[in-house]
Structure 1
C-alpha cells in the first residue's frame, strides 16, 4: 500500500534555525546508527522511518559505515526512500558522513580527499540520491592536513553532491581551524555533531558558544547516554540491553552502582515533572536553542519514537530543577 504521510505532521514539531544559515532542523532528528542495518528487520526500519516522518522529523542522519555490515544502513534507507518517500525528498534533510574505517587499504579511512570524495560517491549510490543535504567529516584526522579535508568538503558542495558541510567529534581548537579555512574557501560550516548529555558536558567548555558566535549549529548525539538516561537501567541491566552487545559503545562496566543511583534520582525528578527520564534528558539537551539546534535520537520501536517526540511538550526547566540535576550528576 502506498505510504501517505500524516497531513498534520508539521503542526507540533519544533524547527530551529541552524546557525546563521537558511536551514531549519527539527528539534529531534532520527539517527540510523542502530536498527537499520542488513542484520535488522527491514519492515521495522521502514515503520520507524514512516512514523518519524509522520511526527515531523524531517532530518535523517546516516554515515557510510552504519550497519552492520558497513553501508547497509544507507542501503536500507535508500530502499525505503525509493519505495515510499521519493515524492517527499524535498521535505527531507538527509545527511551522511565519512571518517571512520570503511574499506581495506590506505584510502578507506580518516580524512584524505581521496577517501572523502570516493566515500560520498558510494553513499549516493547506496541511497539512490543525486546529493545529500549535509555531508560530515566524521572525526578529525591527526595526519591529513586539515586544509585538504576542508577543501574536499568544499569541492563536494561546489560539485552539487552536498548542499551543506558538517563536522563531527571536533573539539574547540579543531573547530576554530576548520571554520577559518572554510570561510576562506567561501563554503561556511553549517554544523558540528558532538556527544552531549547530562552525563557528558564537554561541549559546554567553549564549543557551543564558539559555534553560536560564528553562525554554526550544533547537533547532539547520544543525548540519552547510550540508553543510560532511560527507564531501561533503573532496575539493572536487561539481558537485551546494548550494554550486553559488543557493537555498542556502552559497556557493562559503565553501568556502575554509583551511576545507577544517579539514574534513579534523575528518574524521580523526571516523574515530578510529569515526564519519563528519556523525555527529561532530551528536554535538558534542547533547553537552550542557541546552543543546540537538534538532538539525534535512535529507536528500535515506534513507541520509543513517540515517547521521545513527546519530550517537546515540556522543554522548559525552572532554575531549581536545573540545580537539582546538576547536584545529582555531580555527586
Structure 2
C-alpha cells in the first residue's frame, strides 16, 4: 500500500498554518466543503476531530457547506439501511453541536442532481491507474473485507471532487489520511481549467491539529466497531462503555501515548472534555488506578455532552422542522450546483 509521505504531510501542515492566518484576517473570503456519510450517529471522535473545528470556522465567518453524503453510503455496502433515520440523526447531530443553518448550508447528495452530474466530465480527467493508486481508496477496500467492491468505491475520490467543486470551495478540512482525496480534487480542477478554461478554484486541505482519539478497545474509533461514544448515547450507556474500556495493569496513571496508548486515550478524552492539559488530568488521578480514571472520564464526558444531548433530543422531537432545515439547504446547494453545471457545459461547449 502506498503511504502518504512525511514530506506531503509537512507541506500540508505548513500550508494549513498559512491558511489559518488568512482566515483570521479575512474569514469571509473562504468557502469550505465538509460532511459525513449517514451510516449511524456521530461520536466524540467526530466531535473533536471535525465538528468542533467546523463550528469554530463558522463562528469566525467562513462560509460553510456541510454535506450529508447519502449516496456515498453505497460505496462500501450493498444497500443503504435505515437511511432516512440516519439522515435525520446526522442533521440533528450537526445542529446539536452548533452548526447554524442560518450561517451554514446543510444539504444532501441525493437532493442535488446537478452536483452528481459533474462526476462524468470529472471522471474523464483522471485515469484508472490514478484511482487505483489512491492510498485512501486502498484502505477503504481493505477495510471492507470483500473479495470485490463496486465501481463506486473506485470513483469515490472523484465523487468527492464533485462535492467540493460544485460550490467552488477553496478549503477542505481533513485529517492527513484524507490528503490523497483532496489531491485528486486539485488534479481534477487543474486539468479541467487547462483543458476547457478557468472555472474552478484549486482547493487546499486544511489539516486539523486535534490529537487522534482511539476507540475504547484501543483500535481506531469507528461507528461499525461499536467502540465509540456516540453523541446520542445516554449518560448511563456512556458510563458503561467507559467502564469496559481497555487499560493496562499499571496502577499509577500517566499520560504516555506511545507506551500506554489505552490509558492515555482515556486521559486525553477527559482532558478534551474538560479543556485541560492531559498531564494535569493524569496527575490528578495518580495512584487511583484505572477505576478512578474511568470515573473521571465518565463524569467529564457526560457533563460535556449534557447540553448536546438535550439539544439533539429537542431537534429529533420536531422532525418536520429538522427536514425543513435540510430542504432549505438542498434548495440553496441545488441552485449553486445548477449554475456551476451551466458554466461547465459552456466551457466544454456541450448542450
Scaled by the length of structure 2, the TM-score of the pair is: 0.30
- More helix per residue: 2
Larger strand proportion, structure 1 or 2? 1
* Greater Cα radius of gyration, structure 1 or 2: 2
Scaled by the length of structure 1, what TM-score is found?
0.31
